[in-house]
Structures are given as structure tokens and as C-alpha cells.
Amino acid sequence: MMNAWLLQRFAVGLGMVVAMAGSGCADDRDGASSASEGAAGGPDGGGGAPFDGCYKGELEPDREGALELAGPGVDAGTGALKPGSYLVSTTYLAMKPEMAQTAADLADPVVEGMFTMKGFVAMAGARSSSCAALRTLTVWESEQDMFAFVGSPAHVRAMGQAHSISRGTSNVISWEGSEREATWEEAAKRLGSEAGGDI
């Protein structure tokens, strides 16, 4: 079982790596899963495709990891994101379960780099075992700051291997909003919308 720090690195780093790389725009609900992905039944133990109950627009009930935002923009006393106007970004990655160790190895330098980037405010990451899915939620001072991270050396190196980790489903969307809009619920709603900006 991964410790919390490794799970955080795994979820946040790899989610950003693959989603920003644009490895696909499908969703498990759209039939992107393959026979190599896991057990014979779906997440509920039924006889459907392995991940047929998984969808980017619905938060998984078994999410675990660094679910709360952490970073320099989070008030240490309350644990809440400080009031302000931000660029919020979220990713959803349907991962090949057998690529978990490769994903963790790639994510480590990516997440370390994120914490050193100008304009980084906060991050959270989640993993669902039943859906073999990773989600990230990051908060930035500006779009320019976020894209500086996307072009950073560790992130660019990791993007070269992104296609081998995704099972054909990765999505990213960003929006401007206040601290009240930097939530998992808002992220899932935006990912699931028609105007969601799948890549």
C-alpha cells in the first residue's frame, strides 16, 4: 500500500503528465477500456467491462490520497484556500493498472518541480482503485504560471512516456475562479460538461 506522500505524488504528478500530454479524449463510459485493464467484472463486481461504471464527471466513492488542497496558498490554521482569484486546473486519467510503478517513478520529479514553481498556490490528488483513475486539482496565480510548469524540464521528460501509461482516457480543463470554485465537485462537473475541453 502506498504511503500518503507517494500516493499524492503519484496522483498529482501523473495526472498532470498524462492529461497535459493529450493522450486521448475518450472516457471509460465511451468504451475506451480494453481487455488488459483488470478483472472480468466492473467496479461493482458485475459482469460488464472492467471500468464501465467509471466516468470523469462523477467522483469515485473510493477516492483516496491527498484529497485536501495543500500548498503555500492554504491557510495553515483553517486548511482552507485563501480568498482570491485563481486559475484552477483539474485532470482525469484512466490508467493502465499494470503501469502503477512506472507512473510513480515519473511523477516524483514532476511534483517536486511543481512545489518550486512561481505562481503555484495549492494542489490535491486522488486515486480510485476501482476505476484505476487518477484525479488532480491544482491552483495557480495565473495561466502563465501554470504553463511555465507544463513546459518545465521534468514535466516535458515525463510527457514522452505518457501514452504508455494511459488506457486512452485523459482530460484536462482549467477555469478562472475564486477559492470557492477550487473543489473536487466543481472539477467533476466541468469535466463532465459538453464544454469540458477534453484533449
CATH of 4-25+62-192, one of 3.30.70.100, 3.40.50.300, 1.10.3720.10, 3.90.1640.20: 3.30.70.100
pTM to 2 decimal places: 0.75
Domain ranges of the chain: 4-25+62-192
pLDDT digits (tens, 9 = 90+) for 1-38: 333 443 444 445 544 444 444 333 345 554 443 333 33
* Cell, residue 174: 482549467
| Residue burial 125-144, b: 16+ Cβ < 10 Å; e: rest | bbbbebbbbbbbbbbbbeee
pLDDT digits (tens, 9 = 90+) for 39-98: 333 333 444 567 878 889 999 999 988 889 999 999 999 999 999 999 999 988 888 888
Amino acid at 103: A
Radius of gyration of the chain (CA): 16
Q: What is the DSSP letter of 97?
A: G
Closest CA to 73 of 62, 88, 61: 88
Look at residues 73, 83, 94 and name the one whose alpha carbon lies nearest to residue 19.
94
108 pLDDT band (50/70/90 cuts)?
Answer: confident
Instruction: Estimate to the nearest angstrom the gap between the alpha carbon of 134 and the chain centroid.
Output: 5
pLDDT band at 195 (very low <50, low <70, confident <90, very high): very low
